[in-house]
A and B are shown apart, each in its own frame.
Chain A
């Protein structure tokens, strides 16, 4: 068996792993960044296309947490993790939420003030910007509806850069990890090993001494290798990190407290055009009800619209004839439910279970009611029901129906923000890693990704994950 050596092994190259690899490499350590997925250009496929699902998402984007109802979710799987295909919306963490984490999970030296310099550094390093041109008409409609209802709304900044073309138009560039921190890490000496899945860590007493990994060859076969290291940083995301740790024999408080932000979508029709071919990612969110619920606009290209419009081909074609007048909107709640991550016996896959909390159904219903009210206030002529077979709403007085529409039996929920499977802090009852991500019961294992967030942050989490990852590595290097 081939053996590789490094001082620091970083498993997973999403936002947490890229930050860790870059900072360790900058400090002069010999770092290897191992990623299960492929090394692809950031624009190798169109956003949310079939090709992107196959290339950049685990299991082609078809993964589900079992429960009643099941919740479908997406995990990134490529160099850069989910940052390569996400919307890049940057939302700073909410101060109250950070204080609650510090208090309830007993996280030392933690809070809005402590995290602020790390957030600033992340924003500076990666680049965050507002859209330099008008929002898409659907975003404008949402903003207008929100105003009519007297609710605050906001434009969310993105990990994105814009450049102006000669013809005056704008090009957007995703500031994903493969475009930002990974090249920096490589320039500082980090070795990137893609197409390589770490299967388990080898333990000797309280230390991890190596990793067994499988390298995928061009012909589809796999080579088994061993990687020896002095320290390992596990950043495989909120599902794969607990799975790898549990498989390697660490189980205390690991994989028991998964949180996510369940989401539902609806389609609305307007008398005027709200959808254009270059619709992109809508950046407007209704601010008023955060963190309990976030209301926004979604990708609305015709194949996405079609998914939410019911019927056979002729029906859908008819409905799509005026696709310019249709857009998809979402309600996402800060989930109060809890889930677990285990390894499925016999099959060996991750087994994710999630119990949606009754409050989440209530909040989703309330959110749908508010969303529909705002859309009608913005001039929508029709709001489709989120449930198949139910009549569409034609006026705002009917929006009330959405309040209690969702039940565990009929809901179709999805999630893209998963966290909390290795919560950090000093509270021994609930935490699996200390205040800086060092795994309890392991001398040289650190976790540094979305798994550490003690509960759901209620807002787009990537900025928080990056800032916490930076804070943790700086602290560990200092020590």
Chain B
């Protein structure tokens, strides 16, 4: 199953600033994050895939389109909602992509 588009959406929603100028390596960050997910212990990877798919579908529930197809502004809102979720795994998922995504993105920018 491919989750790249959902992860890319998370990278955009978490790291791309609204009206900002900073150019960030969205695609490279996404592919490294997908690799990170693939290196997780199998049960964590399975859990992460399930969460990502649910998150994508949560978008449909909220405004009729999957998360991956929403505007960056809407993506930010969906992420914000999950980061405040009463459910630990939802918050953990957002925290993982926020922290790891930031680390990956700034490691790539430093290399440049």
Contacts and interface: CB of A to CB of B under 8 A. Distances in A.
Interface of A: 49-50, 54, 59-60, 62-64, 68-70, 301-304, 306-307, 309, 311-317, 320, 344, 346-351, 388, 409, 412
For chain B, which range describes its interface: under 10, 10 to 19, 20 to 34, or 35 or more residues?
A: 35 or more
A68 B91 CA distance: 12
22 contacts: A54-B35, A60-B39, A60-B40, A62-B96, A63-B44, A302-B106, A303-B102, A306-B102, A307-B99, A307-B103, A309-B102, A312-B18, A313-B15, A313-B17, A313-B22, A313-B24, A313-B105, A314-B20, A320-B106, A346-B43, A347-B41, A409-B88
B102 A59 contact: no
B11 to A, nearest CB: 10
A60 B44 CA distance: 13
B85 to A, nearest CB: 11
A23 B41 CA distance: 34
> Which 4 pairs between the two chains have the least Cβ-Cβ distance?
A314-B20, A314-B17, A313-B22, A349-B41
Contact of B102 (A307, A347, A348): A307
Given A303-B103, A303-B107, A350 B22 contact: no
A301 B17 CA distance: 22
B102 A349 contact: no
B37 to A, nearest CB: 8
Contacts of B27: none
Contacts of A347: 41-43, 46
Interface string B31-68: 01001110111111010000000000000000000000
A306 B22 contact: no
Contacts of B46: 347
B43 A349 contact: yes
B111 to A, nearest CB: 9
Interface in B1-39: 14-18, 20-22, 24, 32, 35-37, 39
Provide the main secondary structure of the chain B interface: helix
A348 B106 contact: no
B106 A62 contact: no
B45 to A, nearest CB: 9
B42 A315 contact: no
Contacts of B37: 62
A50 B28 CA distance: 13
A63 B107 CA distance: 20
Given A49-B107, A303-B107, 9 more contacts: A60-B39, A62-B39, A62-B96, A62-B100, A307-B102, A312-B18, A314-B22, A344-B43, A349-B41
Contact of B103 (A304, A314, A317): A304
Interface string B73-112: 0000000000100001000100110111011111100100
A350 B41 contact: yes
Contacts of B43: 344, 346-347, 349, 351
Nearest to B13: A312
A54 B15 contact: no
A312 B16 contact: yes
Which of A312, A346, A350 counts the most chain B CB atoms within 10 A? A312
B57 to A, nearest CB: 24
B20 A348 contact: no
Nearest to B32: A50
Contacts of B88: 68-70, 409
A313 B20 contact: yes
B42 A349 contact: yes
